[in-house]
Amino acid sequence: MGTNTLEVAVLAGDGIGPEVTEATLAVLEALGRRHALGLRFTPHRAGAMAYRDTGEDLSDAAFRACESADAILLGAMGWPGIRAQDGTELAPQITLRQRLDLYAGIRPIRAIPGVPGPLADPRAAGIDLIILRESTEGLFFSKDRGTVTQDYAEETLRITRHVTTRLARRAFALAAQRKRRVTLVDKANVFRAFAWMRDLFAEEAQAHPEVAFDAAYVDAMALDLLRRPWEFDLLPTENMFGDILSDLAAGLVGGMGFAPSADVGDEHAVFQPSHGTAPDIAGQGVANPTAMILSAAMMLEWLGEAPLTEAAAELRAAVDRAFREGLRTRDIGGTHGTAEAARRVIAALE
């Protein structure tokens, strides 16, 4: 490795996480040979199985390695029956978001040629939007802070000016690149916190006259994502709303196996598929690695200028080409497993 090598911390995690991670690293190795990317991938253990074996789901050593890395590539984490003492799921990915201040959860939802979706309208082929999920506060602020008694349970939603302003700036910057619009998703008709959040976004919108701005209530957006998803572009929203809507939106383009994501801050970033560990198919070699591969493309784009950004564009084009030319993973009714999907993407690169 040369002096310009970029360090990527790899957390394969649990369930299908190691499988889709292995497939993605094979694709990145092929891509690296073509572009001399200078990436070094170093594995670190974290997740539910790590907790089972060591008592820690994210050790201090693993966190420090992630903190010092140029980027973090994460498979999936969590497992049924392996829980923290309070009964909650083990989620080191949330710990990373909070400790590394990864406030912007970028979740692209894009129709891929050849991948069937549930909508019959031909305009569904043009679905290309981003859900921008605030990833450090909102209702998730209460993680490990909530109150549970015999008579009631209480979790607190928190929205701050500091985080919301940064989220708004990132939303308008992303929308400006796409030359479209920002639609804030909230519940401002009921909660003062969301009305205040809408005011903050409206203030930021004044600095970006080239980008259209509007807002929608989250329940109406859930309906409109089914009725006319091709009309939306950039959808920033509170943490819990983004968690829910990103799963719904993934279903419009083939499922969670096609939904990449990035949790980004001002200095650090984690790249992972939006899906979970899929215990029902773990270890069978049938998981769809596309979301993980596209998350890796987001990582390349985030890491820097050419050749990394060129490689990211080539990787996305190869995924499109592979599906256009007949790749059909099991989750969309095909027969191609994890390794075969990776091989076909590599072939499309060549």
Q: Which residue has the higher pLDDT, 179 or 282?
A: 282
CB 256 within 8 A of CB 291: yes
pLDDT at site 1: 39
| CA atoms of 275 and 297, how far apart (whole Å) | 17
- Cα 17 to Cα 14, 79, 161, 270, 292: the distances in Å are 5, 11, 35, 14, 9
| CA atoms of 8 and 4, how far apart (whole Å) | 13
pTM listed for this prediction: 0.93
By three-state DSSP, how is residue 112 classified?
A: coil
The residue assigned the tokens 């090598």 is 5
CB 110 within 8 A of CB 212: no
pLDDT at site 305: 79
Q: Judge residue 230's burial from the number of C-beta atoms within 10 Å of its C-beta, 0-12 exposed, 13-18 middle, 19 or more buried.
A: middle
| CA atoms of 139 and 240, how far apart (whole Å) | 6
| CA atoms of 40 and 319, how far apart (whole Å) | 23
pLDDT at site 180: 87
Q: Which residue has the higher pLDDT, 86 or 291?
A: 291
Mean pLDDT computed over every residue of the chain: 95
pLDDT at site 3: 46
Q: Judge residue 347's burial from the number of C-beta atoms within 10 Å of its C-beta, 0-12 exposed, 13-18 middle, 19 or more buried.
A: middle
pLDDT at site 31: 95
Shared fold status for 1-103+261-350 and 118-147+155-252: yes
pLDDT at site 292: 98
Q: Which amino acid is at 199?
A: D
CATH number for the region 118-147+155-252 comes to 3.40.718.10
* 49 contact partners, CB below 8 Å, separation of at least 6: 14, 79, 82
96: its two tokens: 């990373």
Q: What is the mean pLDDT of residues 285-304?
A: 97
CA-closest candidate to residue 91, choices 245, 243, 265, 286: 243
The CATH number of 1-103+261-350, from 3.40.718.10, 1.20.20.10, 3.30.750.24, 3.10.450.30, is 3.40.718.10
| CA atoms of 168 and 215, how far apart (whole Å) | 13
Q: What is the mean pLDDT of residues 235-252?
A: 97
Q: What is the mean pLDDT of residues 251-269?
A: 97
Neighbouring C-beta atoms of residue 241, cutoff 10 Å: 24
Residues 168-218: pLDDT tens digits?
Answer: 999 999 999 988 899 999 999 999 999 999 999 999 999 999 999 999 999
Q: How far is CA 2 from the centre of its chain?
A: 30
Evaluate if residue 310 carries a pLDDT over 50: yes
**pLDDT > 90 in the chain, percent:** 89
Which of 48-52, 89-93, 250-254, 259-263 shows the lowest mean pLDDT across its residues? Answer: 89-93
pLDDT at site 306: 82
Rg over CA atoms, the chain? 20
Q: How far apart are the first and last CA of the chain?
A: 24
pLDDT level of residue 85 (50, 70, 90 thresholds): confident
pLDDT at site 2: 41
Q: What is the mean pLDDT of residues 30-41?
A: 92
207: its two tokens: 């600095």
221: its two tokens: 């957006």
> Which helix (DSSP H) or strand (DSSP E) does residue 39 occupy?
strand 39-43
Q: Which residue has the higher pLDDT, 85 or 148?
A: 148
Q: Judge residue 310's burial from the number of C-beta atoms within 10 Å of its C-beta, 0-12 exposed, 13-18 middle, 19 or more buried.
A: middle
pLDDT level of residue 282 (50, 70, 90 thresholds): very high
CB 279 within 8 A of CB 287: no
Q: Which residue has the higher pLDDT, 90 or 198?
A: 198
Q: Which amino acid is at 224?
A: D
> In the chain, where are the structural domains located?
1-103+261-350, 118-147+155-252
